[in-house]
Amino acid sequence: MIYKDSDVHFNISSQIKRSVSANIQFSTQDINTAKLTFSLTKDGVPLPISQATHGKLFMRFADGSKFYVNTEVQDALGGVIFYVLTSDQVTHYGTVQAELYVNYDNGQKLSVHKFSFEIDRALVDQDIAPVAEYYVDDFESLKAVIQEMADDAEQVLAELQKKFENLDNIETKEGAQEKADAAEAGAKAYTDEHAAKTDNPHKVTKSQVGLSNVDNVKQASKTDFDGHVADTANPHAVTKAQVGLSNVDNVKQASKTEFDTHNSDNTRHITASERTKWNAGQLFKLTEDSGDRNLIPDGTDLLTLPSGLYYAVSNKIINSPDPNAVEWFHYDVSTNNARKTIVVTATANPKRWFGTIHTDGSFKGWHRFITEDDFLKKTFVETYDFDNSSFTATEGIVTKIKFGAARADDQSEYDQTKSEVTLKNSGLYLIRIYISATAIPANSDISLICYVNDAHYQTISYWYPSRTTQTEVAILQQKFSSGDKVTFHIFPKVTGSTPSSVNVKSAFLTMSQIR
Would you place residue 209 in the very low, low, confident or very high pLDDT band (cuts 50, 70, 90)?
very low
Q: According to the model, what pLDDT value does residue 388 have?
A: 94
Q: According to the model, what pLDDT value does residue 277 have?
A: 83
Phi and psi for 183 in degrees, rounded to 5?
-65, -40
Residue 343: alpha-carbon gap to chain centroid: 13
Instruction: Identify the architecture of domain 4-132 in CATH.
Output: Sandwich (2.60)
Say how far apart CA 90 and CA 73 lie, in whole Å. 21
Q: Does 239 or 347 have the greater pLDDT score?
A: 347
E strands, 185-304, where? 294-295
Considering only CA atoms, which of 418, 388, 391 is closest in space to residue 485?
418
With residue 190 as reference, give the H or E element that holds it. Answer: helix 173-193
Average pLDDT, the chain: 83
**The two domains 4-132 and 377-513 share their CATH topology (first three levels equal):** no
Q: According to the model, what pLDDT value does residue 332 have?
A: 96
Q: According to the model, what pLDDT value does residue 236 have?
A: 53
Residue 226 reports pLDDT greater than 90: no
Say how far apart CA 307 and CA 290 lie, in whole Å. 17
Would you place residue 168 in the very low, low, confident or very high pLDDT band (cuts 50, 70, 90)?
low
Would you place residue 44 in the very low, low, confident or very high pLDDT band (cuts 50, 70, 90)?
confident
Q: Are 381 and 510 in contact (CB under 8 A)?
A: yes
Residue by residue, DSSP assigns 105-118 as: TTS-EEEEEEEEEE
Residue 211 reports pLDDT greater than 60: no
Amino acid at 185: A
Residue 18 reports pLDDT greater than 90: no
Q: Does 171 or 509 have the greater pLDDT score?
A: 509
Q: Does 222 or 95 have the greater pLDDT score?
A: 95
**pTM exceeds 0.75:** no
Residue 135 reports pLDDT greater than 70: no
Phi and psi for 169 in degrees, rounded to 5?
-90, -5
H-helix segments, 297-426: 372-376
* Helix, coil or strand: residue 465: coil
Average pLDDT over residues 86-92: 92
Q: Does 264 or 248 have the greater pLDDT score?
A: 264
Average pLDDT over residues 265-278: 80
Q: Are 310 and 296 in contact (CB under 8 A)?
A: yes
DSSP 97: E
Report domain 377-513's class.
mainly beta
Residue 74 reports pLDDT greater than 60: yes
Q: According to the model, what pLDDT value does residue 167 have?
A: 53
Domain boundaries, the chain: 4-132, 294-371, 377-513
Average pLDDT over residues 119-148: 70
Amino acid at 297: P
Residue 110 reports pLDDT greater than 70: yes
Residue range 451-488, pLDDT digits in tens: 999 999 999 999 999 888 999 999 999 999 999 999 99
